[in-house]
Amino acid sequence: MARVSHTQLEDSDNFWYGFNSNELEVFRKYWVDSYSWKKHEAIINQFKQFKTEIEGIKVHFIHEPAASGYSKVLPLLMVHGWPGNVFEFYKIIPMLTDPRKHGIESDIAFEVVAPSIPGYGWSDQPKKTGFGQVACARIFRKLMERLGFKRFYLQGGDWGAVINTHLARLYPDQVFGIHLNMLPLLPGASTKAFVLDILGSLFPKYVFSSSVHHDHNMLAKMFTMVVESGYMHLQATKPDTFDNLVKNWKEQQ
């Protein structure tokens, strides 16, 4: 059995042991045979892109000015998440910089700055250990100052939400406002909340007056998080292991 991989088991069509190799082959064939890099390169190149060095890291960023004719132009720092990059903003940036062109009646437009997180996309990876969300927030604040923005708006999702939350907390006087499309709510923020979570999972009808919450099961959600977050724990604690796995896979193709 030591030589039998999970992909050879009878029920290998599921994803219980991780990503299914049969499905992975579908993705591989798409990337090799169908995906057009030139097409997507043309899409990203419609935006103005730059690199600047901050704290020894070359940071790539999109800097797209607002179209003319708007009475108010607001600076906006948009930060992507994992496993994405700035490409995920290619549809929304034109709508923000020129809303009227896209059927949105507004006298307000945005000047958008969308950097690649260090280690993502076209930004250099950090050169020192310990680089985290706070360091990234500091770098992006310096980027905005370098571009001449003393105060600005923030938008972020996934890791972008975490980074921009740190930025807003560290430099509140420089932030007009913040919009997040990921709001993690951690259970057990207090002893009372923790006890209610447990009791609500076991006896929801006795804890919640509304029947809407009677299907509440925090224990099941916590179990799912533990079972499905193996990738996150590996990448957060041993990223070099994952890096070598990816390199070896690429070399074998």
| Tokens 């260090």 -> residue | 118
Does 155 lie in the same domain as 48?
yes
**CA-CA distance, 13 to 184, in Å (whole number)?**
31
Does 137 lie in the same domain as 97?
yes
Q: What's the pLDDT at 203?
A: 81
Q: Number of folded domains in the chain?
A: 2
| Highest-scoring range by mean pLDDT, 115-124, 221-230, 243-252 | 115-124
Going through the chain in order, the beta strands assigned E by DSSP cover: 49-54, 57-64, 72-79, 108-115, 152-156, 175-180
Mean pLDDT of the chain: 88
Specify burial of residue 114 (Cβ count, 10 A radius: 0-12, 13-18, 19+). buried
Q: What's the pLDDT at 173?
A: 98
- The alpha-carbon radius of gyration of the chain (Å, integer) is 22
- pLDDT band with cut points at 50, 70 and 90 for residue 17: confident
Does 232 lie in the same domain as 171?
no
Q: What's the pLDDT at 253?
A: 55
Domain residue limits at 228: 191-247
Residues 6+ apart with CB under 8 A from 252: none
| Coil, helix or strand at residue 58 | strand
Does 57 lie in the same domain as 145?
yes
Say if 25 falls within a structural domain: no
Does 171 lie in the same domain as 64?
yes
Does residue 51 carry a pLDDT above 70? yes
| Coil, helix or strand at residue 188 | coil
CATH number of the structural domain spanning residue 160: 3.40.50.1820
Last residue of a domain, one of 148, 180, 212: 180
Length of the chain: 253
**How far lies 209's CA from each of 27, 189, 200, in Å?**
47, 22, 11
**Percent of the chain residues past pLDDT 70, beyond the cut:** 89
Does 151 lie in the same domain as 55?
yes
Say if 34 falls within a structural domain: no
**CA-CA distance, 145 to 143, in Å (whole number)?**
5
Q: Are 131 and 118 in contact (CB under 8 A)?
A: yes
Best CA proximity match to 163, nearest among 178, 151, 185: 178
Does residue 118 carry a pLDDT above 60? yes
Angle at 97 between CA 94 and CA 102, to 5 degrees: 55
Does 138 lie in the same domain as 234?
no
Q: What's the pLDDT at 249?
A: 63
**CA-CA distance, 105 to 120, in Å (whole number)?**
35
Q: What is the pLDDT of residues 197-230, one digit of tens each?
A: 778 777 888 887 888 767 766 677 778 888 888 8
**CA-CA distance, 40 to 156, in Å (whole number)?**
23
**How far lies 211's CA from each of 124, 214, 216, in Å?**
51, 5, 10
Q: What's the pLDDT at 120?
A: 94
| Coil, helix or strand at residue 104 | coil
Does 195 lie in the same domain as 176?
no
Q: What pTM was computed for the model?
A: 0.83
